Amino acid sequence: MTEIYEAIKRSAARIKEAIAFDDTGYSENINSTGDTQLKLDIKSDLIIEEEFAKVACIKEIVSEEKEGKTPLHGDGIYSIGYDPLDGSSLIDVNLSVGSIFGIYEGGFAGKNLKAAVYVVYGPRVELVIAHENVTLYRLNQKGEFVLIKEIKLGAKGKLNAPGATQMGWEPRHKALIDAIFADGYRLRYSGGMVPDLHQILLKGGGLFSYPATSDVPKGKLRMIFEVFPFAFVYEKAGGAAIDGKMRLLDLTPSHPHDTTPCFFGSQTEIERVKQCYAK
Ligand code: P6P
């Protein structure tokens, strides 16, 4: 697993440079989700694939930017699902974006996730590794990721990150979000999953939601590349992650790009979601 973490660190340092200085324009390509790819999406994906190709324990990879799986090493044991540059459309307004990695053994089901890693490209570049626990690293002037601290979620937080188009929310979802704000929670939502979830983790807790809506009845966020890795991070940090009823890591996608409604948060907030969606 260490070799995988080192490949991710090398990729992060290269992607940081690309974000800072490369062209942020659109390519001619459309990805499997139907998004027009930024040149940076393609470059970030190529960087990660190049670095993972050097790691013998990786059997296959699947990227949000590609339709299917890419085999790497026949004797490898790990399958990696990743989103190379999540929220990349925020780069041209200079907001933080991220890379997300799920490290699976035995296929891309939530139950097979063995570790999760994400990188935040913000005012500073930070990297979080979730294995037995959740640990924060920061890129220093020498290009090294140095250990900062372990991350733990409080039982109850203060931040609320309500995703998706509000006019598409179910009435019970709108009532839940309104009630949480009525309890004094602060709105923290940038439209970038990585910085939004990172902020809740570092600020002690709260709720991030991307529910089923009338326009995306199965949610927008992808199970393998986005949802499962962050569900793993939140659970290892002492929080919880559900689809409204079920634990997210108990789900199995039928297609690599399957999406699901998702709620990540401290235990108290997730209990409120369960009560809301039990009705
Ligand atoms: P909305 C970015 O495009 C992304 O995939 C996630 O990073 C983010 O959480 C979500 O979409 C934002 O979606 O519909 O709230 O703008």
- For residue range 68-102, list pLDDT tens digits in order: 999 999 999 999 999 999 999 999 999 999 999 99
CATH classification at residue 265: 3.40.190.80
Closest CA to 160 of 178, 175, 137, 140: 178
Q: What is the pLDDT of residue 36?
A: 79
Closest atom of ligand 1 to CA, residue 192: 7
The yes-or-no verdict on residue 67 having pLDDT over 80 is yes
CA atoms of 42 and 63, how far apart (whole Å)? 11
Q: List, in sequence order, every residue forming a beta bridge with 247; answer none if it has no partner.
A: 242
Q: What is the pLDDT of residue 159?
A: 98
**What is the span of the domain harbouring residue 121?**
2-150
Which of 35 and 265 is assigned the larger pLDDT?
265
Indicate if 170 and 144 belong to the same structural domain.
no
Closest atom of ligand 1 to CA, residue 163: 15
Of 90, 116, 150, the last residue of a domain is: 150
Q: How many CB atoms lie within 10 A of CB 143?
A: 11
Indicate if 14 and 72 belong to the same structural domain.
yes
Q: What is the pLDDT of residue 204?
A: 84
Ligand 1 pocket list (CB less than 6 A): 86-87, 163-164, 191-193, 220
Owner of token pair 């339709």? 67
* 165-212 confidence digits (pLDDT tens): 999 999 999 999 999 999 999 999 999 999 999 999 999 899 999 999
CA atoms of 174 and 211, how far apart (whole Å)? 10
CA atoms of 251 and 245, how far apart (whole Å)? 11
* Half-sphere exposure in the Cβ direction for 159 (13 Å, CA): 22
CA of 38 to the centre of ligand 1 (A): 15
Indicate if 51 and 112 belong to the same structural domain.
yes
> What DSSP string describes 20-70?
HHS---EEEEE-TTSPEEEHHHHHHHHHHHHHHTT-TTEEEEEETTSSSEE
Q: What is the pLDDT of residue 115?
A: 98
CA of 77 to the centre of ligand 1 (A): 31
Structure tokens at 202: 């570092």
Indicate if 169 and 141 belong to the same structural domain.
no
Of 97, 128, 150, the last residue of a domain is: 150
Ligand 1: residue whose CA is nearest its atom 3: 87
Q: List, in sequence order, every residue forming a beta bridge with 209; answer none if it has no partner.
A: 162, 263
Indicate if 126 and 188 belong to the same structural domain.
no
- Rounded to whole angstroms, what are the CA distances from 220 to 28, 37, 93, 258? 23, 17, 22, 9
Structure tokens at 221: 């966020």
Of 132, 150, 168, the last residue of a domain is: 150
Indicate if 11 and 145 belong to the same structural domain.
yes
CA atoms of 160 and 189, how far apart (whole Å)? 8
Q: What is the pLDDT of residue 255?
A: 95
* 19-65 confidence digits (pLDDT tens): 999 877 777 888 777 777 778 999 999 999 999 999 999 999 999 99
Indicate if 231 and 145 belong to the same structural domain.
no
Number of domains in the chain: 2
Indicate if 139 and 235 belong to the same structural domain.
no
* 205-262 confidence digits (pLDDT tens): 999 999 999 999 999 999 999 999 999 999 999 999 999 999 999 999 999 999 999 9
Closest CA to 81 of 94, 96, 70: 70
CA atoms of 83 and 224, how far apart (whole Å)? 9
The yes-or-no verdict on residue 114 having pLDDT over 80 is yes
Separation of first and last alpha carbons in the chain: 42
